[in-house]
Amino acid sequence: MFDRNFGFLRYMKGTVYKSTGSWYSVKAESGAFYACRIKGKFRLEGIKSTNPIATGDHVTFSIDQQGDQAQGVITAIAPRDNYIIRKSVNLSKQTHIIAANIDVAFLLITPNNPVTTTAFIDRFLVTAEAYHIKCVLLFNKTDDYDNDSLDEVKYLAALYRSIGYECLGISAKTGKNIDQVKALMKNKVSMFSGHSGVGKSTLVNALAPNLALRTSEISLQHAQGQHTTTFAEMFDLPFGAQIIDTPGIKGFGLVAIDNHELSAYFPEFFALKDQCKFNNCLHVNEPNCAIKNALEKDELAWSRYKSYLQIMEGDDQVYRKDQHQEI
Ligand SMILES: Nc1nc2c(ncn2[C@@H]2O[C@H](COP(=O)(O)OP(=O)(O)O)[C@@H](O)[C@H]2O)c(=O)[nH]1
Ligand SMILES: [Mg+2]
Ligand SMILES: [Zn+2]
């Protein structure tokens, strides 16, 4: 194809590693990075977004050679497997896409220092399910567990494994099972989440020394300030994996979940719901509810049901409809 000046216009495919709002750093299949702009409008089905292209997006771009400086123009964006959002700071109806095409979300959990509750874990898993992102639970600081913590983590790992979630006990400090984390990350785009203090930075450091990520180092107050917009950034790790760093964000942005949709994001509830008497059963007050029957027989965990009710009743502040907040 020729451009106006009869020079060759090269089209290339690449992945967005960084976005600043007007410029994008795109890594081409060749491995070279190009600074790119957007040309034209990108309409994305169903999303009112302040930013049409985000870190993790797969794009097509053309190269415009201007002297020594090769500049790219993004001309197309591939359909996303998934994306995570947060509500835009100023424009109430708009959302900001933080990142796209995440293969695995790792949730770091510690029983103590800090405490990670099942309510928090379940809220995270529900959001990951709603976003169609695979989730792995990493119980960190195993080197530091007393007997009670060990029992609790064993119980939780068995519970979440029975639902279908991969669980791994690790120590970012001693390196225990870090190779298994690497194996889970290989050839994939990963994201790490969890409360402040669970060991995210220590883990990233164990995976890739010298890569100082900003993960959650910026306070929420700062990140929500008027002129600060959160931009995620992707990094290559030396063992053939990518990590998406989301400064100031400890989890996902929230999707609005309808009460009738909610049990679809609890896989073990979803597996039973066809056996409820009413096909629109919310599993709360209805008779002959398969989920409540299973709970009575201890075939389902009460902690999961409690989380389900909390999310449904909106006790959980962040789960109001039409709100997109971080968790
Ligand atoms: N004993 C122990 N301490 C850890 C481990 N991982 C992290 N820590 C400590 O936990 C604290 C918080 O870790 P950090 O990586 O900053 O957590 P972040 O806020 O999630 O990034 C630091 O004092 C770490 O040294 C671990 O596997 N074992
Ligand atoms: Mg940190
Ligand atoms: Zn039911």
Give tens-digit pLDDT for 225-279: 333 456 789 999 999 999 998 876 656 666 678 999 999 999 999 999 999 999 9
Q: How far is the CA of 215 from the centre of ligand 2 (A)?
A: 6
What residue's CA is closest to ligand 1, atom 3? 141
Residue 224, pLDDT score: 42
Give SS3 for 309. helix
> Which residues, by Cβ under 5 Å, contact ligand 3, an ion?
276, 281, 283, 289, 291
Check: CB of residue 53 under 8 Å from CB of residue 61. Answer: no
Among 67, 90, 74, 79, smallest CA distance to 17 is for 74
What residue's CA is closest to ligand 1, atom 7? 199
Check: CB of residue 272 under 8 Å from CB of residue 308. Answer: no
Pocket test of ligand 1: the residue of 146, 170, 202 to mutate, having most ligand atoms within 8 Å of its CB, is 202
Residue 121, pLDDT score: 95
Q: How far is the CA of 308 from the centre of ligand 3 (A)?
A: 12
| Highest-scoring range by mean pLDDT, 1-5, 28-32, 211-215 | 28-32
CA-to-CA distance for 167 and 139, rounded, in angstroms? 7
Check: CB of residue 59 under 8 Å from CB of residue 19. Answer: no
Residues in contact with ligand 1 by the CB-under-6-Å rule are: 140-141, 143-144, 171-173, 194, 196-202, 216
Residue 213, pLDDT score: 64
Q: 46: left (phi > 0), else alpha (psi -120 to 50), else beta?
A: left
Range from 21-25, 39-43, 320-324 carrying the lowest mean pLDDT = 320-324
Span 33-60, pLDDT tens digits: 999 998 766 655 556 676 789 999 999 9
Residue 300, pLDDT score: 98
What is the Cβ-side half-sphere exposure of residue 121, based on CA atoms within 13 angstroms?
23
The answer, yes or no, to whether residue 110 has pLDDT greater than 60, is yes
Q: How far is the CA of 269 from the centre of ligand 3 (A)?
A: 8
In the chain, the amino acid numbered 30 is S
Q: Which residue has the higher pLDDT, 325 or 194?
A: 194
The answer, yes or no, to whether residue 79 has pLDDT greater than 90, is yes
CA-to-CA distance for 99 and 46, rounded, in angstroms? 16
With pLDDT > 90 as the criterion, what percentage of the chain qualifies? Answer: 64
Residue 326, pLDDT score: 40
Check: CB of residue 203 under 8 Å from CB of residue 170. Answer: yes
Residue 223, pLDDT score: 41
What is the Cβ-side half-sphere exposure of residue 262, based on CA atoms within 13 angstroms?
25
Residue 200, pLDDT score: 92
Give SS3 for 286. coil
Domains belonging to the chain, first-starting first, are: 11-80 (2.40.50.140), 99-245 (3.40.50.300), 259-319 (1.10.40.50)
Residue 313, pLDDT score: 85
What residue's CA is closest to ligand 1, atom 8? 199
b vs e for 125-155, b when ≥16 Cβ sit within 10 Å of the residue's Cβ?
Answer: bbbbbbbebbbbbbbbbbeebeeebeeebee
The answer, yes or no, to whether residue 176 has pLDDT greater than 90, is yes
Q: Is the dihedral of CA 250, 252, 256, 258 positive or negative?
A: negative
Q: How far is the CA of 289 from the centre of ligand 3 (A)?
A: 4
Q: How far is the CA of 291 from the centre of ligand 3 (A)?
A: 5
pTM above 0.95, yes or no: no
Bond prior to 52 in cis (omega within 30° of 0): no
Average confidence score pLDDT of the chain: 85
Tell me phi and psi for residue 34, to 5 degrees.
Answer: -130, 140
Span 280-297, pLDDT tens digits: 999 999 999 999 999 999
